[in-house]
Amino acid sequence: MRSFAYEKADSVDAAVKSHANKRSSYIAGGTTLIDLVKLDVMRPEQVVDINRLPLGEVERLSDGRLKVGALVSNTDLAYHDVVMEEYAVLSEALLSGASTQLRNMASTAGNVMQRVRCPYFRDGVSDCNKREPGSGCSAIGGHNRSVHAVLGTSEQCIASHPSDMCVAMAAIGATVLVEGPKGAREIDFLDFHLLPGDNPQHEHALEPDELITHVVLNAPLKGSRSSYLKLRDRASYQFALASSAVILSVESGVIRDARLALGGVGTKPWRAKSAEQALIGKKPEKSVFEAAAEKAFETAKAYKHNAYKIPLGQQAIVRSLELVSSDNGATS
């Protein structure tokens, strides 16, 4: 067992100060951190408990956006009245993830920061550039069926991002608010998670010692419907093989606006902007949806065991679009 120091912070400033200049980790629900510490993949010298911080509220802003505290649990966010009514895609995504017990503990910021489920990353012994830069990527030549990506990969890493919540937030559009030694700043949600490139150990845009305080969701797309579809090996407690978060606004029989993000297939929550553009101005019909789905995967690269994810992801897009454009589709 590896020893580590433990501190409880009673303010954001205190948390940042305690964290500074150390090999330290923040802890809220701990649903990722504790797993990886047990596996000896993460080895913090110190853990800073932030559960006392006043970051557990959901607040409507004057401009129509929704400000979500870092410590709001996945369960509370999924069942929040505004989220259920105006951000159905987010509520559905949250409720499709993990188990009830984990959702009760998992925090909003922790979900944003969760790490990949690649078994070569988590086993602690295989070559993994994300865990040990320069060691190689065992997944490329190994078993890469379920938790490995076909979009945004590199020769250094092909692990898919595991979050359902983040896929919905990528579709909605959001801003991540952070505090650090240099003060507060905002990060566009689509820029927060980084592609692996040549440096897969760099997973996010946080500077050293910065702490997420809130995620601010864009105002709902006017007159839209939304839905989250998750395709997986089993219906209970399983990560996505492919998922789609869709927000669609149809007026006078024509698609006026669209938001589309994918999970299970990308190395980060994957916003399919080319597919969105292929939908706008078109009639909401299957041939249009299929063309957009093909567009979403035009840069995909399959590996030995996961080529099926390309047609599966396309099917997820088409099914989601058919659902939100039907008379009984989900509403935002």
Percent of the chain with pLDDT over 70: 98
Q: Note the pLDDT of residue 328.
A: 62
Distance CA 104, CA 78 (A): 10
pLDDT for res 330 = 64
Lowest mean pLDDT among 83-92, 144-153, 234-243: 234-243
* pLDDT beyond 80 at 1: no
Dihedrals phi, psi of 119, to nearest 5 degrees: -65, -25
Query: Hey, where are the domains in the chain?
Result: 225-325
pLDDT at 62 over 90: yes
Average the pLDDT over 232-247 and give the result.
Answer: 95
- The confidence score (pLDDT) of residue 300 equals 98
pLDDT of residue 38: 95
Q: How far apart are CA 218 and CA 172, in angstroms?
A: 6
In 10 A of CB 287, how many CB atoms? 10
Contact by Cβ (8 Å): 116, 147? yes
Which CATH number does the domain 225-325 belong to among 3.40.630.10, 3.90.1010.20, 3.20.20.210, 3.30.390.50? 3.30.390.50
The model's pLDDT over 166-206, given as tens digits with 9 standing for 90+, comes to 999 999 999 999 999 999 999 999 999 999 999 999 999 99
State the burial class of residue 105 (Cβ atoms within 10 Å of its Cβ: 0-12, 13-18, 19+): middle
Rounded to 10 degrees, what is the CA torsion of 235, 237, 238, 242? 60
pLDDT classification of 132: cutoffs 50, 70, 90: very high
- Structure-token pair, residue 45: 């010298």
d(CA 69, CA 80): 13
Mean pLDDT within 74-102: 97
Residue 296 pLDDT exceeds 80: yes
Q: Using the 8-state DSSP alphabet, how is residue 82 labeled?
A: H
